[in-house]
Amino acid sequence: MILPTSRLRRLAGLLSLLTVAALSSTASASTVGFYAEGDLGYGYANLRQFRHTNFLPEVVTLEGSGYSGSAAAGARIGFGAIGARFSHAAFEDFGVNVFAVEGEIRAPAGAVQPFVRAQVGVGWLGDLDTGDVPGALRGELDVYGWALGVGAGIDFGLGDYVTVGVGAEASLLNLTRQELSLDCTGCGDVEVGENGDALGIQVRAGLRIGLRL
């Protein structure tokens, strides 16, 4: 059966519209850009949560809560992104630093943009107050290891380039204390001449602001 010319034209027009829509969708999904963002909030950590072996003397506090923040930058590729993030949490008796590579998936929901991300990187202790432990140990401590994290949140677009929102992340920290060449009479059962190990957690939540180009 031969279709009338008018119907062929309508079908051709519909096909053209579908093709343009498909191409537009593909272009949108493959958009490449840049992002930079930061957050400021509150965090909690317990660096002995799951395990600790010859790590640090029990008198050293490794659980607490306090202010935290992070800064990140990277590339956007369609609905995903890959970049790097540095975070710092300042607790009363110690600080936790993490530098990680992260991957993110962001739902294409217009002005409302929920997201999830995963991170892998390194963590280390800073600003550690060793309390009753002799001062010699305080100046010699070198504690670092790996960090794995997951995060989620929701951003709200303010125009084409700026977002604000809220987010949270949880990190698993496996930190190792490097061996020390000194005597520590106040360290209890901890042998500072050997490495020590601990497995703990850190949880952070806060307000976010971002730039997306």
Q: Split the chain (213 residues) into runs of 10 and give each run's mean pLDDT.
A: 52 48 42 93 95 84 93 93 96 92 88 94 84 60 92 92 95 91 72 88 97 89
Task: Enter the DSSP assignment of 160.
Answer: T
Q: Are residues 176 and 143 in the same domain?
A: yes
C-beta of residue 137 within 8 angstroms of C-beta of residue 182: yes
pLDDT at 18: 41
pLDDT at 6: 59
Q: Are residues 19 and 94 in the same domain?
A: no
Burial class (CB in 10 A: 0-12, 13-18, 19+), 202: buried
Q: Are residues 19 and 71 in the same domain?
A: no
In whole angstroms, give the CA distance from residue 97 to residue 130: 18
In total, how many domains does the chain have? 2
Burial class (CB in 10 A: 0-12, 13-18, 19+), 30: exposed
pLDDT at 37: 97
Residue 26 domain boundaries: 1-30
pLDDT at 38: 97
pLDDT at 9: 60
For residue 153, what are the CA distances in angstroms to 70, 169, 170? 14, 9, 12
In whole angstroms, give the CA distance from residue 94 to residue 25: 49
Q: Are residues 61 and 79 in the same domain?
A: yes
In whole angstroms, give the CA distance from residue 12 to residue 9: 5
Q: Residue 201: what residue type?
A: I
CATH code of 205's domain: 2.40.160.20
Q: Are residues 109 and 130 in the same domain?
A: yes
Q: Are residues 105 and 68 in the same domain?
A: yes
In whole angstroms, give the CA distance from residue 58 to residue 130: 10
